[in-house]
Amino acid sequence: MSSTALGNHILVEFMNCDPHVMNDVAAIERDMVGAARKAEATVINSTFHHFSPYGVSGVVVIQESHLAIHTWPEYGYAAVDVFTCGDMNAWIAFDHLKECFGAKSYSAIEMKRGSVNLLTRNDFDITSAREKAAEWRNPDFYTRNVWFTDKDEDQALSLRFTGDVFFDVQSPFQRVRILESTKYGKMLALDDMVMTTIKDEFHYHEMIAHPSLFTLQNAKNVLVIGGGDGGTVREVLRHSNIEKVTMVEIDGEVIKACKEHLPEIAAAFDDPRLELIVDDGIAFVKSAADAVYDLLIVDGSDPVGPAEGLFSVEFYQNCYRTLKADGILVAQGESPKFNEKAFAELNQTLQSIFGQDNAPVGLFFVPTYPTGMWSFQYGLKGAADPRKVSNTEAIKSFVAEKGLRYYNEDIHFSTFALPNFVKQLIQQ
């Protein structure tokens, strides 16, 4: 360091960088902290933020000043600055980042900061302040401000996540990701929608399975369309009367991601009663035989992309046909608050096929879905009606034996109690 300046500042343009790296907040933070360490700086802490859908900003504070970055993945561009003082060589950090980012071109300017010729030194003693700072410095303390947002044009639900990405594959149908949220643990996201998280998945999976299985009491043959994370079949297979479950999931990448990273949810894929088919569930139901299933569960995602056909009249006509005379259909029914149109249209479809009084709606709460208020919608082909079960003792002992955390004998009935605005939406 020249004695004529307090610091040295390099301003760098990294161009034609790898766009995936430019959008990966965890990788960028690791590379920036790595660059500081390689240049033998002492890292104090770092804070990084991911902007949805693209871009990362972050700062690594070092004893010798800072490293900062702003990225534009869509341009493969990063603006970096490294401010140093003392003997630190900022160009070592520059070389490291150039390699990590795969920058094919770059430019940099260097300037001296704090020209001592322009400054007057006072007699402030900084020695004791430096010693105090060293006491609370924690080199492993990083803060990231990274949010995953599930939204439409007007509403959103955001979850803070660590920035770690465990799985990120663009399948032929959708982008499949396993991320880690700070509050709800690992989560499965399809495109930009939250599907399930480790800490609240039981709300959804217990409620999709048990109300109808306690209504049918002796269901043997179940068809699950979708449900690639495995949570629905895990719950269905808790019932010892079940002889066979056929699950048809269109996207093998979802199954792979969940088997690898969400084993608590993908817990029943080895059950011998399960036949797992990776194929189009809509086509499967179309060619299924008449009157073969006791229970048909549609565990699909929202009505965009591959799940769109799971909201069509033709699909539910085929579901009706393949159910036994007393069979029950349960479908992921969307939210009466977040997407009331899809919610109401699905109920109209079910009413038109199963009959006006045979399309009840069950509400339940999912903290990680936008608005939190979600539904399952039923189609009752025969007399079996979840609103009229009497075997509450059996529910009670099953809940205790299996250690269920959402469903119980009270929730079985209360799920069907609807607020007036919901009744109006579905004209029931």
Q: Which amino acid is at 151?
A: K
Q: Which amino acid is at 230?
A: G
Q: Report the catalytic residues.
A: 299
Contacts for 272 with CB less than 8 Å, ≥ 6 apart: none
Strands 156-170 and 274-278: unpaired
Beta strand extents in 354-394 (DSSP E only)? 361-365, 373-380
Nearest distance, CB of residue 204 and ligand SPD, angstroms = 5
Nearest distance, CB of residue 347 and ligand SPD, angstroms = 16
Nearest distance, CB of residue 306 and ligand SPD, angstroms = 12
Nearest distance, CB of residue 340 and ligand SPD, angstroms = 14
What six digits make up the tokens of 122? 């006072």
| Distance of alpha carbon 7 from alpha carbon 81, whole angstroms | 13
Contacts for 6 with CB less than 8 Å, ≥ 6 apart: 85, 113, 114, 116, 119
Beta strand extents in 268-369 (DSSP E only)? 274-278, 293-299, 323-332, 361-365
Q: Where along the sequence are the contacts to ligand SPD (CB under 6 A)?
A: 193, 195-196, 204, 227, 229, 231-232, 299, 301-302, 332, 369
Phi and psi at residue 351, in whole multiples of 5°?
-60, -40
Nearest distance, CB of residue 195 and ligand SPD, angstroms = 4
Angle between helices 25-38 and 90-101 (to 10 degrees): 150
How many CB atoms within 10 Å of residue 1? 15
Placement of tokens 């663009």 in the chain: 170
Distance of CA 309 to the CA centre of its chain: 22
Nearest distance, CB of residue 267 and ligand SPD, angstroms = 13
Three-class secondary structure of residue 411 per DSSP:
helix
Give the nearer residue to ligand SPD in terms of CB position, either 232 or 318: 232
Give the nearer residue to ligand SPD in terms of CB position, either 79 or 344: 344
Give the nearer residue to ligand SPD in terms of CB position, either 60 or 225: 225
Give the nearer residue to ligand SPD in terms of CB position, either 84 or 335: 335
| Distance of alpha carbon 239 from alpha carbon 349, whole angstroms | 30
Give the nearer residue to ligand SPD in terms of CB position, either 242 or 262: 262
Give the nearer residue to ligand SPD in terms of CB position, either 83 or 406: 406
